[in-house]
Amino acid sequence: MMDAVKEPVAATRKPDVLQTMQEMVIVGVAAYLDEFVNCMVGLACAHQEREFRDFLAAHGNDQERAASQSCSLGELMRFARRRVTFKREERS
C-alpha cells in the first residue's frame, strides 16, 4: 500500500496530507505491534502452560483462580492476553 500512495501523496506537497499519512502509519504500526505482543504472550502461555496455570491459581483474580486448573488452553491464553497492558501506572 505504501508504495502505491507514497509518490502521489509526496507530490501534493500539502503538509496536512503528509501529516495525516504519517499518523496513519504510526497508528497502523502500533496496532500491528500490539497484536504481535499479544500473540507472543499467548504462545508463551501455551509453552509454559503448567507454570501459568499454577501462577493463576496463586495470583489470579477469583475467576482465574477458579478456572485455572480446568479451563481450555484457549481460555488460558485469553487470561494471559488480558494481563498485557501498555498503560502507564501512576507512580507516587
CA 71 to chain centre: 22
Average pLDDT for 10-14: 78
CA 23 to chain centre: 19
| Whole-number pLDDT of residue 79 | 93
- pLDDT tens for 21-61 read 889 889 999 889 888 999 999 999 999 999 999 999 999 99
Query: How many angstroms separate the CA atoms of 24 and 69, rounded?
Result: 42
Q: Which pLDDT tens digit goes with each residue over 14-32?
A: 888 888 888 988 999 988 9
